[in-house]
Amino acid sequence: MRLDAKIPGGPLPQKWDRHRFELKLVNPANKRKFEILVVGTGLAGASASASLAELGYQVKTFCIHDSPRRAHSIAAQGGINAAKNYPNDGDSIWRLFYDTVKGGDFRAREANVYRLAQISNAIIDHCVAQGVPFAREYGGLLANRSFGGAQLSRTFYARGQTGQQLLLGAYGALMRQAAAGRVRLFPRREILDIVVVRGKARGVVARNLLNGEIECHEGHAVVLCTGGYGNAYYLSTNAKASNVTAAFRAYKRGALFANPCFTQIHPTCIPVHGTYQSKLTLMSESLRNDGRVWVPKTPGDKRPPHQIPEAERDYFLERKYPSFGNLVPRDVASRNVKEQCDQGKGVGETGLAVYLDFADAIRRDGRAVIERKYGNLFQMYEKITGDDPYETPMKIYPAVHYTMGGLWVDYNLMSTLEGLFVLGEANFSDHGANRLGASALMQGLADGYFIIPYTLGGYLAGTPLEPVSASDPAFAETARQAAERLRRLLAVNGRRTPDDLHRELGMVLWNFCGMSRNNEGLRKARGRVQELREEFWRNVRVPGSEQDLNQSLEKAGRVADFMEFAELMILDALERQESCGGHFNEAYQTEDNEARRDDERFCHVAAWEFRGEDRDPVRHVEPLSFEHVPLTQRSYK
Amino acid sequence: MSQTIRLTLKIWRQKGPADPGRFETVAVDGVSTDMSFLEMLDVVNEKRILEGGEPIAFDHDCREGICGSCGAVVNGRPHGHLRGTTLCQLHMRHFRDGDTIVIEPFRARAFPVIKDLVVDRSALDRLIQAGGYVSVNTGSAPEANTLPVPPDRAERAMDAAACIGCGACVAACPNASAMLFTSAKVSHLALLPQGRPEAARRVLAMVRAMDACGFGNCSNHRECEMTCPKEISIVHIARLNREALKAGFLSPEA
State whether A408 and A274 are in the same domain.
Answer: no
Structural domain contains residue A605? no
Residues A34-92: tens digit of each pLDDT: 999 999 999 999 999 999 999 999 999 999 999 999 999 999 998 999 999 999 999 99
| Superfamily grouping for domain B122-136+147-250 | Alpha-helical ferredoxin (1.10.1060.10)
Quote the longest CA-to-CA distance of chain A.
74
CATH number assigned to the domain comprising residue A168? 3.50.50.60
Instruction: Tell me: pLDDT of A522 over 80.
Output: yes
Interface contact flag, A173 B133, Cβ < 8 Å:
yes
Domains B4-115 and B122-136+147-250 equal at CATH topology level: no
State whether A234 and A376 are in the same domain.
Answer: no
The answer to whether A159 is a known catalytic residue is: no
State whether A210 and A309 are in the same domain.
Answer: no
Count of CB atoms situated within 10 Å of the CB of A577: 13
Chain A contact for B114, CB < 8 A?
yes
What was the pLDDT predicted at B254? 66
State whether A239 and A331 are in the same domain.
Answer: no
From chain B, the residues in CB contact with A541 under 8 A are 49-50
Chain B contact for A383, CB < 8 A?
yes
In this structure, the strands spanning A58-62 and A35-39 are: parallel
- Structural domain total, chain A: 3
State whether A315 and A416 are in the same domain.
Answer: no
Closest Cα partner for A358 from A284, A293, A303?
A: A293
Class assignment of domain B4-115?
alpha beta
ipTM exceeds 0.90, yes or no: yes
Averaged pLDDT of chain A: 96
Interface contact flag, A240 B60, Cβ < 8 Å:
yes
State whether A276 and A297 are in the same domain.
Answer: yes
From chain B, the residues in CB contact with A239 under 8 A are 61-63, 67
Note whether A177 and A52 are within 8 A (CB): no
Q: Rounded to 5 degrees, what angle do the CA atoms A495, A496, A497 make? A: 130
Report the C-alpha gap between A16 and B231 in whole angstroms.
45
State whether A542 and A570 are in the same domain.
Answer: yes
What was the pLDDT predicted at A391? 96
State whether A70 and A150 are in the same domain.
Answer: yes
Residues A378-405: tens digit of each pLDDT: 998 999 999 999 999 999 999 999 999 9
CATH number assigned to the domain comprising residue A500? 1.20.58.100
State whether A21 and A114 are in the same domain.
Answer: yes
What was the pLDDT predicted at A78? 87
Domain finish residue from A354, A384, A399: A399
State whether A271 and A261 are in the same domain.
Answer: no
Segments forming the whole domain that contains residue A291: 267-399
Nearest chain A residue (CA) to B154: A133
State whether A390 and A407 are in the same domain.
Answer: no
Partners of B203 in beta bridges: none
**Band of pLDDT at residue A147, cut at 50, 70 and 90:** confident
The shortest C-alpha distance from B79 to chain A (Å) reads 14
The shortest C-alpha distance from B141 to chain A (Å) reads 5
What residue segments make up the domains of chain B, in order of their start? 4-115, 122-136+147-250
CA distances from A272 to A77, A391, A502 (A): 20, 21, 16
Report the C-alpha gap between B71 and B92 in whole angstroms.
16
CATH number assigned to the domain comprising residue A377? 3.90.700.10
State whether A309 and A174 are in the same domain.
Answer: no
Average pLDDT of span B140-160: 97
Residues A222-254: tens digit of each pLDDT: 999 999 999 999 999 999 999 999 999 999 999
